[in-house]
Copies of this chain bind each other. A is one copy, B any other.
Amino acid sequence: MEKIKVGIIGAGGYGGCGAVELLQAHPHAEITALIDKQDVGRRISDLYPHLQGFCDLPIVDPEDPDCPDDFQVVFFSTPDGVGQKGASQWLNRGVKVIDYSGDFRFNDLETYRGYAARIGRKEDHASPDLLPRSVYGLCELHRKEIAGTDLVGNPGCFAVSCILGLAPAIKSGLIDTGSVICDAKTGVSGAGKTPNPLFHYPARYDSMNAYRISGHQHVYEIERELGLVAGEEIKITFTPHVVPLCRGILTTIYARLDQGQDLKGVEEVYRSFYHNEAFVRVFGPEVLQVSTNVRGSNFCNLSLNVDERTGNLIVVSLIDNLVKGQAGSAVQNMNVLFGLDETAGLLHPGIYP
């Protein structure tokens, strides 16, 4: 089988680097071009020297007339606002598009605008006509729709951890959907590659903080997805925190368990829901779940607990923000888009310690 040709736009960031790491060893895909406006002419292995010998392609300027374009799929590893401007030129030529940002996570302009307001975006969506065609790229919930489209909005890292941690409970009606609280802790790599006073090593190595309390943009897609599962509108309280580690999101999810529900039933519901999923692993309270269990891999580990004193369900949801929370999900989406084995190129355990 000929390999699928992949182009990566925004290749120079952590999201691009993660995609290169996965795709350079993918059995059915190959990277054809790395495109970015910064570091043009430098090899990706100059930016990320661990890639030397694995991928030494140069960064090409998207405006360069010689910029390659013979892809079957293009990853927009770019911030909000880029993919929505560039997607149609690729789609029109039959190239499938996977966008990392919020540009294609919503199917109508109205909802997108709610999201855009949260990130302080003033401009309206550049391609509102594409929105109905886009699919939210969380394979565990939308596998079939992804297989049938050519435009995927890769999910937000926090959203992956929250949605996977809550979907079974909501689907099976185990909890009071008005009581959901998601307390998320992320490693610093989630903030990307650009230096910032808050992520400067001396300022961060021994510090943690909550931020955008009840105002983070990912809450939008979480509520939309959970609402779809529930069949009713859902509002959640979501607080992100930054802690001084590199990779990992640990979200502690609290919800009031409905009368009569217990741990045993919860475990059954979750195990059944994820029974056929390659990348979601369900655990009871007897196993300590540490974020390194999923570091460097595409897995989501869920730890199920019930506080019998207060009647709360407590789900601890763990992912690697750069893999299942970003590049890994993108590759998983690519596999589904092209009818490949969904796990192709994704079965790596990471390294430890």
Contact = CB atoms under 8 A, between A and B. Distances in A.
Given A199-B195, A296-B50, A290 B214 contact: no
A65 to B, nearest CB: 30
A243 interface: yes
Contact of A202 (B189, B252, B254, B290): B189
B239 A50 contact: no
Number of copies: 4
A347 interface: yes
A312 B200 contact: no
A325 to B, nearest CB: 14
A77 interface: no
A206 to B, nearest CB: 5
Given A50-B350, A236-B310, A245 B246 contact: no
Nearest to A219: B309
Interface string A236-248: 1101010111111
A112 interface: no
A305 interface: yes
A200 B197 CA distance: 9
A88 interface: no
A352 B54 CA distance: 13
A202 B183 contact: no
Given A196-B195, A254-B181, A210 B303 contact: yes
A203 B239 CA distance: 26
A206 B206 contact: yes
A154 interface: no
Contact of A199 (B200, B293, B351): B200
A227 to B, nearest CB: 14
Nearest to A223: B309
Interface string A293-322: 111110000010111111010101000000
Among A24, A188, A353: residue with most chain B CB under 10 A:
A353
A243 B210 contact: no
A203 B56 CA distance: 20
A209 B349 contact: no
Contacts of A252: 183, 210, 239, 241
A53 B235 CA distance: 36
Contact of A214 (B17, B24, B309): B309
Contact of A200 (B200, B241, B244, B247): B200
Nearest to A307: B214
Interface stretch (A134-142, A267-275, A281-289): A281-289
Contact of A239 (B200, B205, B210, B314): B314
A49 interface: yes
12 contacts: A49-B287, A49-B292, A50-B294, A50-B349, A53-B349, A193-B200, A193-B202, A205-B205, A205-B206, A206-B353, A208-B245, A213-B303
